[in-house]
Amino acid sequence: MPKGICLVSSVATAIATGAIGQEVTATYSLYGTPGLLEMPTAQSAPENALAATFSYTEGLGQVTLTFQVNQRLSASFRYANVELFNDPPESGTEREVERGFDLQYRFNNETTYVPAIAVGLRDFLTPGRFQSEYVVASKSFGDNLIVTTGIGWGAMGTRDGFANPLGGDFEVRPTPDLPGGQLGSDQWFRGDAAIFGGVEYQINDRWGVKAEYSTIDYTETAFGVVRETESPVNYGLTYRPRPGVQLGLSYLYGTQLGVSGSFELNPNARATGSGLDKSPPPVKVRPADSLAAQSWDRTALPDRALRRALGGLLEIENITLTGLELTNTTARVRYINSSFRSEAQAAGRTARMMTQVMPPSIDTFILEPERRGIPISAITISRRDIEQLENRAGGTAAMLDRSGFGDAGGSQGLDAVASDENAFSWGLGPYFRINPFSNDGSVDVDLGLSLRGVYRIRPNLVLSGAIEQSVVPPEDDPTGVERTPDIQNVRSDGSLYGNDGVPVLANLTLNQFSRPGTNLYGRVSVGYLERMFGGVSGELLWKPVESSFGLGIEVNQVAQRDTDMGFGFDEYDYDVTTGHVSAYYDLGNGYHTQLDVGRYLAGDWGATVSVDREFDNGWVIGAYVTQTDMSYEDFGSGSYNKGVQVTIPQDFFTGTTTRGSYGNTFRTRVGDGGARLQVDGRLYDVVREGHLPDLSDTWGRFWR
């Protein structure tokens, strides 16, 4: 056994005698995953935890996002800034940004005699400098000590390695082709293997110590980082000043220090608890002697008075009444929810307000939420159910079960309510963009101010635009931006747009939304659709309210804008027809999938697969992969696009009702292959919040 592992074992024995009854929880490694320092453990973070880890050691800085998908599966996305090895050393150093994805799956929960066991893939999508595979076991002793050992391949098998125990075809690991960008499955679990291990001891709630035997040899030229490694044993100290924050200090390889910080958020652990929403008004229960009423006196209580009264009550909730149809027994209400993230909560507030003013004979409420000027569904509710179930145990589930869901009705019979809101609105705020380029991995940052305006010509016909002023502009011609002579630079010239130091027109579009038929939704957008392209975009979506499945088609005829982001299209003289057929499916439990097949901006044909996990409180964490028929040479570094998307609702932090959110997409590259037009108001995102699958997920907020 290597002497480093013997040392780690000795440390474990010594520390075990000092256990003081503190529960051991997972900490984050320098690689941003639950682990020791460089080596993984079989521990898992709390389910649904999202952690951002920043770490730095000489020659290697890393930023990692890790998401605990469920109790056993975790996924990570990493940017690693690597100092490249040059031979001879006198030629100086270069830096390159590596992007990597990790997966780890834990097979079992730890028991009294059996450790937790996990298998993992590090940097697995593209053969990279840190690509590794491993099987690891972790066992706790007492309440504050955990011991880990495992076997690693790839980068984790480069120190003190031995012949692959799997034998046969697994004995030889193919040489990775780093620029190729193809899935490196032919290397998984192949080549030499090595045994790693370590211990972690939690001194108290805040302080912990670690020791590990690392099997990563950074003197291998494939890593680019060349270090003097006097010892394979690493030591670390962790400090948790508050829940969700971990700071670390490491002593590595016997020669240098490392620092790290991990910051964890969990959609299931909001700082404001269940929220700071103002209490809803109680349901007004009709007197028993009025339940048999078949009509009401419209002379004493005319329709217009009811419209005015209901509109005023809904305004208190920041809900805008846009239409009302009344019969002797039914009230159909159309409204815009401008406040509540959940359409189920807006429906509940609307129904409560209706009980305050509607005549006793009205026993059926039909609620039609409206987005972008079009109704997106109809929710039919019995007034008796509202009165009986408000404070009953199990009332939420019973209310969902007894309600009806279907396509919204037409405008016939609906009395439109004129809005008192100004047709024009505007706002000024910051913007922040990160563009990872494709050749040497450089990352371009653009920070500035955005002035946005919206003019509502009609509820479903809107003129909108934005003027931006960059404060920290992108470089004019950043090193590493890949320009392909045979492929139009539809994205790789992105840093040239808006870098003149003057305000630019980011977009200016006229958008019309429509309901061409039952279960059908339409959109037409005309103008300067995004920073780099302008033209016409048309979309048609078929999406039944009660179905988990939707199907859409989008066709765009666009031309590339001039880099000064004015009104011209002359600089590139490039136009293209692009579009996709899209299939959407709600898998349930907050999982959404999307498949887009079609033609991209550079004329390449291919497909994009997206998977999102949306939590009941509005968090969205997802990933996507795009593959096209563009050749590897033209596509550039990485033969396919992949990325991670994170959206966090503002009310998660404020606790108060708002539809705002913070979001970003972390891509591996921004190149010309697999580039899709950026259009505001794609229909599936507009309508699905009012459909049954989404309403069911957040129906718990109906009574809030």
Q: Is 666 within the bounds of a domain?
A: yes
Domain match, 152 and 40 both: yes
In this structure, what CATH number is given to the domain that contains residue 362? 3.30.300
Average pLDDT over residues 148-173: 89
Q: Is 335 within the bounds of a domain?
A: yes
Domain match, 410 and 483 both: no
Q: Is 342 within the bounds of a domain?
A: yes
Between 179 and 71, the more confident residue is 71
Domain match, 591 and 497 both: yes
Helix (H) or strand (E) holding 388: helix 383-389
Q: What is the pTM of this model?
A: 0.81
Predicted pLDDT of residue 474: 64
Domain match, 84 and 216 both: yes
> Tell me, what amino acid is at 348?
G
Domain match, 410 and 518 both: no
**Quick one: which of 529, 583, 532, 582 has its CA closest to 556?**
529
Who contacts 646 (Cβ-Cβ below 8 Å, separation ≥6)? 50, 65, 620, 621, 663, 664, 665, 666
Average pLDDT over residues 263-289: 78
* Number of domains the chain is built from: 3
What are the pLDDT digits (tens) for 391-403? Answer: 898 899 999 999 9
Distance CA 648, CA 663 (A): 6
Where does a domain end: 420, 442, 474?
420
**For residue 637, what are its two tokens?**
């570094």
Q: Is 567 within the bounds of a domain?
A: yes
Domain match, 141 and 251 both: yes
Domain match, 378 and 522 both: no
Place of tokens 């609620």: 367
Cis-peptide, bond into residue 88, ω within 30° of zero: yes
Domain match, 231 and 330 both: no
In this structure, what CATH number is given to the domain that contains residue 198? 2.40.160.40
Distance CA 699, CA 351 (A): 14
Domain match, 381 and 490 both: no
Predicted pLDDT of residue 473: 67
Predicted pLDDT of residue 643: 79
Q: Is 272 within the bounds of a domain?
A: no
Predicted pLDDT of residue 218: 78
Q: Is 161 within the bounds of a domain?
A: yes
Please report, rounded to a whole number, the percentage of residues in the chain having pLDDT higher than 70.
Answer: 85
In this structure, what CATH number is given to the domain that contains residue 547? 2.40.160
What are the pLDDT digits (tens) for 325-379? Answer: 999 899 999 999 988 888 999 999 999 999 999 999 999 999 999 999 999 999 9
Is there a contact between 423 and 455 (Cβ–Cβ < 8 Å)? yes
Q: Is 280 within the bounds of a domain?
A: no
pLDDT at residue 183 tops 50? yes
Q: Is 279 within the bounds of a domain?
A: no
Where does a domain end: 387, 420, 453?
420
Predicted pLDDT of residue 6: 46
List the domain range (segments joined by +) for residue 544: 433-686
Where does a domain end: 420, 448, 480?
420
Distance CA 378, CA 404 (A): 8
What are the pLDDT digits (tens) for 630-669? Answer: 876 666 555 567 778 888 887 777 767 777 777 777 776 6
Domain match, 413 and 500 both: no
Predicted pLDDT of residue 64: 93
pLDDT band at 581; cut points 50, 70, 90: very high
Domain match, 361 and 453 both: no
Distance CA 609, CA 588 (A): 17
Helix (H) or strand (E) holding 541: strand 533-542
Domain match, 378 and 510 both: no
Report residue 2: phi and psi, to 5°: -60, 145
Is there a contact between 303 and 330 (Cβ–Cβ < 8 Å)? no
> Tell me, what amino acid is at 35?
G
